[in-house]
Amino acid sequence: MKETIIHIKNVSFQRDDKVILDDVSMDIKRGSIVAIMGPSGVGKTTILRLISGQLHPSSGSIEVNGEEISAMSHRQLYECRKDIGVLLQNGALFTDLTVFENIATPLREHTSLSENEIRERVLAQLESVGLLGTEELMPDSLSGGMARRVALARAVILNPKIVLFDEPMTGLDPIAMSTVRRLIRKTNDELGLTSVIVTHNVDQMNKLVDYCFVLAAEKLIAEGSPQELMHNNDPAVDQFMNGHVDGPISFRYKPINNSTTTNPS
């Protein structure tokens, strides 16, 4: 039985009067690739931000590596983040730095490696994502898939324990999607990482992840392996996994019930 590396317990989160997450609990096992799935706007990225300490839950607790994230000081949080790599939706490469310097940035900031050692590690990382030879290119000359792979190389350069992926496949062509998918699996297994992927791409996730959590209407509605979820009889899970228009998950925006919005005075 693998140990839990991320423990989310009864977490609720609201922004102004809008409830985003309501009493959500998840246990993410060390070494696994886990997907957090659900329709757009359901709070998947919010969970990543809660795990990385960018947001604090309204109630409940989040433990990463046995430490409560929301109780950490600014300095402790920054220390903890050295063990967490994050790949943001658009890659978020530094546009004024070359590919090499983008990947080297965490090494320059957090290690005392010599210039030769930094060069060796960056080139090895570029090799592993299949982009050796692009080190002098600027981010604006990379395709979407290449930028995502550079961002992946940057996210794992410090050998973190956990990597968080925010929609890593969005906007990619099928070949780039498969490449990124294979890279996530390869990196996870070779480096012994724990990967948490936020996505709504059911097909890609079925081919990649070990375990899934499905969110809908502010709550966790199901969890299990991709195969288990494909055969889940819950109407909401069935609607999401098979992409049915009709079902309990509404695609209409729900306005907040707030007296100030209805009172004309």
- Contacting residues toward other proteins, per CB under 8 A: 52, 54, 78-79, 81-82, 84, 86, 88-90, 92-95, 105-106, 108-110, 154
Cα–Cα distance measured from residue 111 to residue 98, given in angstroms and rounded to the nearest whole number: 20
Output the smallest distance, CB 47 to other proteins, in A: 15
Output the smallest distance, CB 125 to other proteins, in A: 15
Residue (180 or 220) nearer to other proteins, CB: 180
Handedness of CA 140, 146, 148, 153 (dihedral sign): negative
Cα–Cα distance measured from residue 99 to residue 147, given in angstroms and rounded to the nearest whole number: 9
Output the smallest distance, CB 239 to other proteins, in A: 31
List the one residue out of 23, 72, 64 whose CA is nearest residue 43. Answer: 23
Q: In a 3-state reduction of DSSP, which class is residue 15?
A: strand
Residue (82 or 219) nearer to other proteins, CB: 82
Cα–Cα distance measured from residue 104 to residue 119, given in angstroms and rounded to the nearest whole number: 8
Output the smallest distance, CB 36 to other proteins, in A: 17
Cα–Cα distance measured from residue 216 to residue 236, given in angstroms and rounded to the nearest whole number: 8
Output the smallest distance, CB 256 to other proteins, in A: 17
Residue (86 or 221) nearer to other proteins, CB: 86
Q: Which residues contact 124 (CB under 8 A, 6 or more apart)?
A: none
Cα–Cα distance measured from residue 193 to residue 159, given in angstroms and rounded to the nearest whole number: 8
Residue (164 or 214) nearer to other proteins, CB: 164
Residue (94 or 117) nearer to other proteins, CB: 94
